[in-house]
Amino acid sequence: MSKSRILIQLDTDPQASVFDAVVAIDAGAERLLQYANIKPEQVRDLIHGAMYTRGPADLKNTAIFVGGSNVAHGEQVFRNAVDTMFEPFKVSVMIDCNGSNSTAAAAVISASRHLELEGSTALVLAATGPVGQRVAKILANEKCTVYLSSRSLERSEECVAQLVAQGVPQNRLIAISSADQTWTDKAIRESHMVFACGAAGVRLMTAEQLEQAGQLKVAIDLNAVPPLGIDGIGLTDKGSSRGGRIEYGALGVGGLKMKIHKASVASLFESNAKTIDCQEMMSIGRDILALEKPLS
């Protein structure tokens, strides 16, 4: 008899996410073990419990989900989990703290429906946050030129350095400050895509700036709390045509984000050695898109 599919939810928040739990159940996790308030130093023992309880042939039915609102803490937990394991005692691991990975993948996939990513130029607003950084990473790995904008040039440059350390090609990343008019204007003029990844209620791009954006084909705003990050975009826009551009609001991206999240959890149980972060979610998102296209 095959073993039941167990998902171990490691959450760094005081209460484990209900959102992640329900999605996990609906994605096919037959048993869910919820762990809240996870500290990086607790990870090793917990992962050992996942590694040494089933034979290697059954380990694909045990998997780890790392979540929580603090992305930095979650990444440490994720790294500790991955570093603890070795073949043949590996179990699959996924990280989607605060939905940042699935949101970033869904945003880029949405853009990819309307233009060829390779060779395009993108402007990522509020690029130093969890979602912005992942959008930039995915785009650069897709061979886009990416402007990473934040209020502080120093933080944009730090963000670029972090991405380069993760293996992203440096020559595709350009750090700019939103306070620097010259560079901001240049980025706006050159970009085919713009992604607003800022905090709730912060306006990142004005109507005037949109008008200057002569090359702009797709504008995506991932903020769900008005005022939205890009002037004129509606929360539920999903491929809406406006001023010659295709526009997406946060809820317009949300449906695909949910599908990617769910498919990612399901894919954890396909083998015992998956490591799923934003990059793998791009591939999962593309598969979802490929299945949907014939229907539309």
Q: Which stretches of the chain bind its own copies, using CB under 8 A?
A: 3-4, 6, 8, 14-23, 25-26, 31-35, 37-38, 42, 45-50, 52-54, 62, 258
| Residue in 240, 244, 182, 197 with CA at minimum distance from that of residue 216 | 244
Query: What are the tokens at 157?
Result: 């440059």
Residue 209: CB minimum distance to its own copies, A: 31
Q: Report d(CA 125, CA 129) in Å as an integer.
A: 9
Question: Looking at beta carbons only, is 10 or 160 nearer to its own copies?
Answer: 10
Residue 91: CB minimum distance to its own copies, A: 10
Cβ burial, residue 124 (10 Å; 0-12/13-18/19+): buried
Question: Looking at beta carbons only, is 90 or 172 nearer to its own copies?
Answer: 90
Residue 45: CB minimum distance to its own copies, A: 8
Question: Looking at beta carbons only, is 22 or 161 nearer to its own copies?
Answer: 22
Question: Looking at beta carbons only, is 46 or 219 nearer to its own copies?
Answer: 46
Question: Looking at beta carbons only, is 218 or 222 nearer to its own copies?
Answer: 222
Residue 54: CB minimum distance to its own copies, A: 7
The answer to whether 240 and 268 are in contact (CB under 8 A) is no
- Please give the distance of CA 260 from its chain centroid, rounded to a whole number: 10
**DSSP state letters, 55-70:** -GGGGGGEEEEEE-S-
Question: Looking at beta carbons only, is 60 or 137 nearer to its own copies?
Answer: 60
Residue 3: CB minimum distance to its own copies, A: 6
The answer to whether 142 and 220 are in contact (CB under 8 A) is no
Helices 153-165 and 130-141, packing angle to 10 deg:
50
9 strand-pairing partners: 34, 65
Question: Looking at beta carbons only, is 32 or 289 nearer to its own copies?
Answer: 32
Residue 125: CB minimum distance to its own copies, A: 25
Query: What are the tokens at 222?
Result: 């991932």
Q: Report d(CA 253, CA 140) in Å as an integer.
A: 20
- The two counts, helices (H) then strands (E), for the chain are 10, 12
| Residue in 113, 103, 110 with CA at minimum distance from that of residue 133 | 103
Residue 122: CB minimum distance to its own copies, A: 28
Query: What are the tokens at 256?
Result: 């695909």
Question: Looking at beta carbons only, is 5 or 137 nearer to its own copies?
Answer: 5
Residue 76: CB minimum distance to its own copies, A: 16
